[in-house]
Structure formats: structure tokens, C-alpha cells
Structure 1
Amino acid sequence: MISPKPLGEGASSAFAQGGVAAAAGPDDSPARHAADTIRAGAGTVDQRVAEQVTAEALEHVLALAERGAPFDRTGAGGFVLSREAAHDRARVVRVKGDGAGRAIMTALIGAVRATPSVQALEGVIATGLEVGGGRVTGLRLAAADGQSGEGVLLAPAVLLATGGAGGLYARTTNPGSIRGQGLGIAALAGAAVADAEFVQFHPTAIDCDADPLPLATEALRGEGAVLVNAGGERFMTAVHPDAELAPRDVVARAVFAEWRAGRRPMLDTRAAIGTAIDTRFPTVAGSCRALGIDPALEPIPVTAAAHYHMGGIAVSEAGRSSLPGLWAIGEVSCTGLHGANRLASNGLLEALVYGRSAAHDIAMALGASGAAPELAFTPPPGDVAPPEDAVARLRRIMTEEVGVTRSGEGLRAALRGIAELEARTDSPVFRAMTAAATLIAGAALAREESRGGHYRTDFPDADPKRALRSRMTLAGAERIRAGAMGEVTA
């Protein structure tokens, strides 16, 4: 295992507050869960994948519990279940209300540390893939702080589990290390990418100056918290029949509209949860109090922020990419489960299901093997760190032009800006970021409709003929970018 920090630090999964979606209640079923997944995905979910993943969900929750994940329990020993947006019933298994991601990671890291056959090389990042003979043969590595050159680690198989691309945006709930680098290095090596245009914006990030923004979990709305504006008006009831529990893309656009109009949106937990927020949702309460907000007495200011990338490296049901020797799981991959709009708390579930599938597939592909040599990496001289000003500019471009709402004009401007930044630096880390950004913006420009997390102001309606997943290589995205450049120079 290669990790920029000690295992778990700065990982997206540790930031996950909601939990794992699974049909664990007596009135629920995998078929209902799959139906909600397909409905939320706005027409582009792979039905076969949705049925497979939801069928396995409870098995994975039980396995995590056996490994020590301290899921909340009822007095009778069953799981405490939360309801989140676009679920037709409570089915999210949680830990202390809003601490599932960190608790699950803690349990799994303990298991990894106790397994002699797993070696972890910490303080190191992957800067590229080695490719030879038409297959991936290893990784290029550098020190995580960027203050070294690149070395090479050869391997018969590489699995990327690097998180998504939310950190490419200036307003995000993702940790600073999650900026599309995994997607970028795979794309630079030639891997096919699917659904890159579909970025999910969480509607209730806490509006403050932090980077990343702390999150006010969707489970709060599942418990009855409501969205109001600066005038105290509840605005979601006029937007969607499900109000605060509408699909995330609908709520995010409504929150963004209030924010842009100067009517500061806020999440009011006072009537529904009150003073119990400190014990029922301690992570959210702690974030609020650190900002001088008492959620028991006042609404929480919120904003829409980049949260989850539905797109990623196109993979098979076993996590195989289009490049032999490369597998991908979790948010860096695209399985077809999420479609255009991820159903809440399906992210951790997908990582669990595909993690096991990929492990079995890699074992079958490699066959029996002997003991691995001891893992070591001595950073060579050099510097691969991206310029801070270029990273900041890239993140502003993505937020301003490839954000909650988009337009053809803005997307073309974004592609030109990305190209200009890319031309000014030779950092392989930054090159991976611009590759990911180019794929997202290029795919968004190519999809001339609005669907799920992708909303075009110049094509505001969904086109039934475009209810299809997208698939693109970096070369294809760069051709779209070149077209955007040509429109200016012509």
C-alpha cells in the first residue's frame, strides 16, 4: 500500500459522515435500494450494477461489524438506520450519528496493521504509471511533500483507490490531497474514463473560510432539519415535493440559487434536533462550535460545495480498467452505480463491494506468488511539487466555470484556462490535476443537456436521447479543448 500520509489521514472515506446504505430494516429490500439508486441517478445508472451492489450491501455491513466497526445499535441489537435524500426509507447504517467513515477506516486500518502480508509505504505519492508492452507495469513515486524526484516501483498489478476530484474545486468538502491525481495518472497512461462530467455538489457544506469546508451531514435533514434563507423562509417546499429530501442535485442548485441571490441559505436543526445535536451528531456540532455557531440556538449557514465525483476510470464489474494490469476502486473509478447523481451513502458501499471483487480478480489474474520483497523507496533528488499559485488558479476556474451551474461559454473559458496553466509547469503532480480537470470540463462541454449533477444554463432540459453514459480518453478531451482554443484564435 502506498499512502501520502499515515494510513487514513487525509482520506476521503474518513470524512464520510453519513454511513453505508444497506437494506437492513424489516420493511426494506435490496430491490427497493436498487430502485432508489436508479431513480436518483437520473437515467444513466447501470441497472445490473445497481442490483449487484445493493444485493451485497448487508453482507459487507455485517463483515465490517465483525471487524470492529461500532455501528449504532438499537436496544434490541439491530442497526440504527438514518434516512437520507432520495431514499424512500431509512437504510443508512451509521456510527455516532455522523462518524461512520472515520470509524470504519479505524477498524480496517487496524486489520491492515495486523496483517503481516500487507506492507504500507507511507509518506509517498504516485506521480504516474509505468507502461510497457501494452500493460501497466508499476508506479512512479515521489515524496508526498513533492520535495523529491521520481522513482519507480515495479509491480505485476496496480490498484488505484485514490479518491475523487472534489479538491480540484476551491469550495469543497474533500481533503487537500484529493485533487483528481489518481484519475489523471490513469488518463495520462491511456485509460478510458466514464461519466467525467458528473460532479456532485453537497448542498449543506458549512459556509465558512475553511479548506476543506466542514460538512453538515444529510442525516440532519433526514431527522427533520429544514433549509431556510436569511429571511427565515423555508425555500425547498416550492422546489420539489420531497423538499429537503429531494435528490442532492436538486437541493444543491436550490441552495446555490439562494446563495447567489444574496439570501444566505441556512440549515435549521433547532426544532427537529435541538440540544441533542451534541450527542446525536457530535462531528457537526463540534465543527459548528469551532466556528462560533451554536446549532442548538441558531441556524447553520450552508453552501453547495464539490463533494463527490460520479465519473472516474471506467472499470468492469471486477474493477478492471481498460489498461491491462490496472484496477481501480472507490471514487477514482466509475462502475455505473451512481449514474448522473449518486444516491446518498452509496459511496462507501461501492468501495466495499468493488474492493473485494477487485482483490479476487487480481488474485486470479496473477495466480500463486511467493513472498514479496520488502518494500522500500529512497526519494531521488528533485522537486515534483506543483506551484501553489497555479493550483489555486485551477481550483478557482473549476468552481467558477465547471461548478453547480455551467454554460458552453464558461466551459470553453475553463478549458482555455486549464491549458494555459498546464503549459506553464512541468510538475507531474499538476499535470495529473489538469488532465482530470480537462476530462471533467471537456465531457461537460460535450454533454449539451442537463442531467443530475451536470446542469447547463444554455441547455437546461434533459434530452432523452442523451440518457447514456459517456466514455472518453484524455486524447478525446484534449481534442475538445483544442476546439475551444481554436474558437478564440480563429
Structure 2
Amino acid sequence: MQRYLMNFDTRRMETRQTECLVIGSGVAGLTAACQLARHGHHVLLVVRDTLQDSNTSKAQGGIAAALGMDDNPELHLADTLVAGAGLSNESVSRMVVTEGPQDIRWLAENGAEFDHNADGTLSLGREGCHSRNRIVHSHGDATGAEVARALNAMAAREKNIRTLEGCYVVDLLVHQGRCYGVTALWHGRKICLRAKHTVLATGGLGRLFQHTTNPEGATGSGMAMAARAGAELTDMEFVQFHPTALALKGCPNFLISEAVRGAGAYLLNSEGKRFMPERHPLAELAPRDVVARCIFQEMTRAETSHIWLDARHIEKVTEKFPMIAATCRDYGVDIEKDLIPIAPAAHYMMGGVHTDIWGRTNIEALYACGETACTGLQGANRLASNSLLEGLVFGRRVATIIGKTRLPQAEAGLFWREESLAAEKHAGVLADREAGQQILSRYLGITREAQEMSVGEEKLSQLSASYEGTSADTPAELDLRSALLCGALIFHGAQRRRESRGAHYRSDYPDKDEFLRQHFGDRRKVYDEAERFGEENIAAAVTLGMV
């Protein structure tokens, strides 16, 4: 693995110094920045485009939290563990669902406007795999945009927050297990950003796939730079495909929120018949991995590029989902009268940079939160609307632990240098990125199989080979390099997890716990932590006498 992606020498670079460096402007990054600033810490908030460009601003459904009179955190916990298919960390999950309501109240107290009923209580929606109405939403289906607006307004009011927009972070600067900041490209020039504490909140990697609900910058850059620096990554095989993305030629992959199904919409196959009631007791509100897989099977059976979502019978559907209705109308679909063509699309990464319950990584002074991180909450399949909740909770907790952490003084004169990379120009970067997307979509999609994955892994390796040992000096090539590394990590995890669990479905190992059954027979008492980190840890558990 190539350690650095560009030639640089920190002694000759423009350098900026800060106490806390926060990379990313989604819910997790903005929450961490605002909480740090309010407790007197100086923050440099760095974003690759603008503050408004993030997955958070695109989120429609809402934030899950036990705020209803008939709800409580234990019920929310139970639903989270079911959706996570046995791999969610129970203590982390309990912490998130217990602390989450206070963070939503904090958002509301600081300007976020959520929908309310006529009696003044919060209007709570229902989504897949939730046993209660607990989805807090805003303007019907524009929750993410409202959360982003409120957090951006908070950040703008904080004198302790400086913002650097249009800054592409390239690599982490690590010495003897401690992070001291990053290298970056800003307006075409190389700069060094030094910090006592560095927070990765760079989002997901949906753009590794041809069809995705994610914005352009979701190429896994934070995960890739962490991996190059020696951070531990885990659960990379678990990529969630959202069941219902708008599927029209010439239309971007616009998400049709799960809340539409929560309000009563049906999935119809190419013959116009419902199929989910016979596939799962929760029908259209089954866990996302189940719904996406059933849709994919129906599309494969009928050899079609989409199926249908029927929301015509929902009372006041346009009023309930104004953004979805307007977008569909722009592309000739009236959701009150027409069936909506939909297909699954890459949506969310459950894996990522491994952290503890405070967002700390195995590298000192490096933290991760949001979709970049793997905290243990999401398990093998994220419960709907738990992502904004996780970002709020862990953004705050990262800020809290930074405030309690005392680091030794940095070494005087510490510098980093990489000047051995070939300055080779690659003319086909965009074509190679499309080729990488085709490989991952073809071999790491909703259904996977060992021989097929081996073919895809080899193709991706060949694509990566021409870039090894060369310097990347443009955002386009940096995005490609991040995508190639993250793709390789997904292949590695998907090959080694020889079972089907949550979003990871193996046609050659269709059963849950297949790996354990084949290798250990009845000796399947393996600690949860050993199991969730895959085959290597299971083997280690055997060696240590844990099974």
C-alpha cells in the first residue's frame, strides 16, 4: 500500500496551525466542531467543496429516537440489534439510543425546526424495521437539509471556528503512532495543516458504485487516508443498498425515502403485483437488506431495470413528501397518479475506521465519526434513520473526549517528506474511475460469489497497478486512488466473510454463521467481538482457547 499520494516536504509548505482540525461538514463533523467551539476549543473546519455539500443535506427520512409516549430506548435498541443482524455492539447501541434524544433536543434548542402535530407534540414517522413511530422529521422529507442548515448557522455564530472551503485533504501526518495533522490541496497548492487533534468526518463511499444516492465527494477518502496511515478499518464488506432510488433515464439517482413505505406505499413487480408480504412478516418495512435483495431478485427474474413503488393511495401524499413529489414531477412522474419506477442503489457504508465508544482510533489524537467511522452501532445493516442519530451522538462524544485529553508536547522541528513518487500524468483518470465503478457494481453488488469476486478483485488490482508509485496532484486522481483502495478493502472483507449476514449476501454461503458451522461444527461459542471482526479474529480466538 502506497503510504503517501503526493510528493511533499512540510518544511517548504505553507503551514496553518490549529488546536482541533475537523474534516467534513456533515452532521458528525459540524456537531463536533460546534461542541468543541462552545467549550472554548479553537477549530479549523475543512471541507472539500462547500459547507452545504454533504450526505447529511440529502437525507430525507429523519432522525430515529425514542421520543414517543409508547416508545423507550430499549425498544429502539431491540430494533437496532435486529437490523444489525447480530453484529451491532450492544453496549455502543444502548449508549446511542439512550443519549440520542438529548442531542435532538439540543438541535431543536439551537434552531432546528422539526415537524409537530396540532397539539404541539413532535410528529413521528415510521420506517423499515422500526416497531414504533420514532422518526423525527422536518418539512416532511427534508430533514437532512434542515439539520445541515441549523448546524451551519451554529458554526457561523461560533468565533472559535474558522472554515477552509475548497480544501482537499490528502494524507494524515503520523509519527510514532500519533497524528499531527494532514497534507492538503487548496486552490491548486500544497499546504500543511497541523493540529493537536484531528477528526475524520468525511462521509461514505457510495461513489465507488455506478448507481448511488451519495453526492460526488463520497469516494471513501477519509477511510483510505486512515488506512494508509495505519488506522484499523473493519466491516468493510457491509455496504447498504437503499431499496428505492428513482430509476429513470437521464435522472440522477434520487432517493425515495423509506418514510414513503412507512406511510403505506407498496412495492409492485413488473406484473403489477405486491411481493413483499410473502417474503417477510414486515412486508415493505422489512430490514433494508431484505427489501433490496427481494427487489433485485424480482428485477433479475423479469429481466427489467426497475420495479414500481405505488404511493397513489396515500392520503395527501404530496403534502407529506413535498420534495419527493416535486423531484418526481420534474421527471414526468406524478406520485398521486403514477407508479414510481425504482431500483436499489448504493447508499451507506456500515464499516469504516474502527473507533471506541468515544470515537478514538488506534492512532493517538486521531478520531473518526459519522459514516467514515465504524463504531459498532450499525452492525451488518443500518437501521433506517440511525445515521443522523449516530453522527449527532458521536460528534458530541468526540468533542467531549478531546476536552478531557491531555497530550504531550509535540517534538520541535518534526517534519514529513515524500519525494520519491514519479510525477507521471494519467490521461484516463475519469475513464478509470468509471471502470472501477463498473467492477464494484458487477462483483460487489447486492449478491456476491467467491469466483466472481476473484475475477473482480483481479480486475481492480490491474487497474490500480498503473498508479502505484506515482504522485497524485489533482482531486480527480485523488478520488480515484481513494476509490481503488477502498474497493480493494471491500473485496478483501467480502471474500473472507464466508456467510450471508445483513447487507453482505453470498450466494455460495447463503446461511448466517455458515463459516462457523463449516469450520467448528458445534464449537461455535465465539466471543461477539471476535466474530464481528471476521475470520482472522475467529482463528485467533481458537488459538487462545475461546472456542
1:252 Cα deviation after fit: 0.2
Secondary structure of the equivalent of 1:60?
helix
> Is the 8 Å Cα contact of residues 499 and 515 (structure 2) preserved in structure 1?
no
> C-alpha offsets along residues 15-39 of structure 1, whole Å, 9 cap, x if unaligned?
1111110001000000000011011
2:91 maps to what in 1? 48
Assess, with a 3 A threshold, how the Cα gap between structure 1 residues 366 and 6 changes in structure 2: closer, same or farther.
Answer: farther
> C-alpha offsets along residues 179-236 of structure 1, whole Å, 9 cap, x if unaligned?
1111111011111111111111100011124575101100011110000012111111
**Alignment of 1:116 onto 2:134:** no
Paired residue type of 1:420: Q
**Alignment of 1:293 onto 2:333:** yes
TM-score by length of 2: 0.80
> Is the 8 Å Cα contact of residues 386 and 430 (structure 1) preserved in structure 2?
no
> Is the 8 Å Cα contact of residues 49 and 335 (structure 1) preserved in structure 2?
yes
2:313 is aligned, of 271, 276, 283, to 271
2:100 maps to what in 1? 57
Unaligned runs of 5+ in 1: 370-380, 474-490
1:469 maps to what in 2? 532
> C-alpha offsets along residues 311-356 of structure 1, whole Å, 9 cap, x if unaligned?
0100011101111121000000001101001100000000100001
1:384 Cα deviation after fit: 10
> Is the 8 Å Cα contact of residues 171 and 211 (structure 1) preserved in structure 2?
no
Assess, with a 3 A threshold, how the Cα gap between structure 1 residues 297 and 89 changes in structure 2: closer, same or farther.
Answer: same
2:36 maps to what in 1? none
**Alignment of 1:330 onto 2:370:** yes
Paired residue type of 1:278: T
1:361 maps to what in 2? 401
What is the alpha-carbon distance in structure 2 between the residues aligned to residue 73 and residue 39 of structure 1? 29
Identity across matched positions, percent: 39
Secondary structure of the equivalent of 1:156?
strand
Secondary structure of the equivalent of 2:532?
coil
1:278 Cα deviation after fit: 2.3
Paired residue type of 1:106: R
1:406 is aligned, of 425, 445, 448, to 448
> Is the 8 Å Cα contact of residues 497 and 534 (structure 2) preserved in structure 1?
no
> Is the 8 Å Cα contact of residues 390 and 421 (structure 1) preserved in structure 2?
yes
> Is the 8 Å Cα contact of residues 21 and 345 (structure 1) preserved in structure 2?
yes
1:284 Cα deviation after fit: 0.9
What is the alpha-carbon distance in structure 1 between the residues aligned to residue 168 and residue 464 of structure 2? 20
Paired residue type of 1:409: Q
Assess, with a 3 A threshold, how the Cα gap between structure 1 residues 282 and 51 changes in structure 2: closer, same or farther.
Answer: same
Secondary structure of the equivalent of 1:120?
strand
What is the alpha-carbon distance in structure 1 between the residues aligned to residue 360 and residue 204 of structure 2? 17
What is the alpha-carbon distance in structure 2 between the residues aligned to residue 47 and residue 384 of structure 1? 47
What is the alpha-carbon distance in structure 1 between the residues aligned to residue 176 and residue 121 of structure 2? 52
> Is the 8 Å Cα contact of residues 312 and 333 (structure 1) preserved in structure 2?
yes
Assess, with a 3 A threshold, how the Cα gap between structure 1 residues 323 and 196 changes in structure 2: closer, same or farther.
Answer: same
Paired residue type of 2:458: R
1:135 Cα deviation after fit: 1.5
1:255 Cα deviation after fit: 0.9
2:502 maps to what in 1? 452
Give the 5 Å matches for 1:217-256.
Answer: 217-256=257-296
Secondary structure of the equivalent of 1:157?
strand
1:368 Cα deviation after fit: 12
1:386 Cα deviation after fit: 8.4
What is the alpha-carbon distance in structure 2 between the residues aligned to residue 465 and residue 401 of structure 1? 21
Give the 5 Å matches for 1:168-317.
Answer: 168-209=208-249, 212-261=252-301, 262-263=303-304, 264-273=306-315, 276-317=316-357
Paired residue type of 1:470: F
Paired residue type of 2:494: A
> Is the 8 Å Cα contact of residues 384 and 429 (structure 1) preserved in structure 2?
no
Paired residue type of 1:109: N
> Is the 8 Å Cα contact of residues 179 and 366 (structure 2) preserved in structure 1?
yes
> Is the 8 Å Cα contact of residues 498 and 506 (structure 2) preserved in structure 1?
yes
Paired residue type of 1:397: I
> Is the 8 Å Cα contact of residues 56 and 144 (structure 2) preserved in structure 1?
yes
What is the alpha-carbon distance in structure 2 between the residues aligned to residue 465 and residue 410 of structure 1? 19
Secondary structure of the equivalent of 2:332?
coil
**Alignment of 1:134 onto 2:177:** yes
How many residue pairs end up in the alignment?
A: 456
Give the 5 Å matches for 1:149-164.
Answer: 150-164=190-204
Unaligned runs of 5+ in 2: 1-44, 410-422, 473-477, 517-527, 537-547
TM-score by length of 1: 0.89
1:272 Cα deviation after fit: 2.1
- Aligned CA RMSD, in angstroms, stands at 2.1
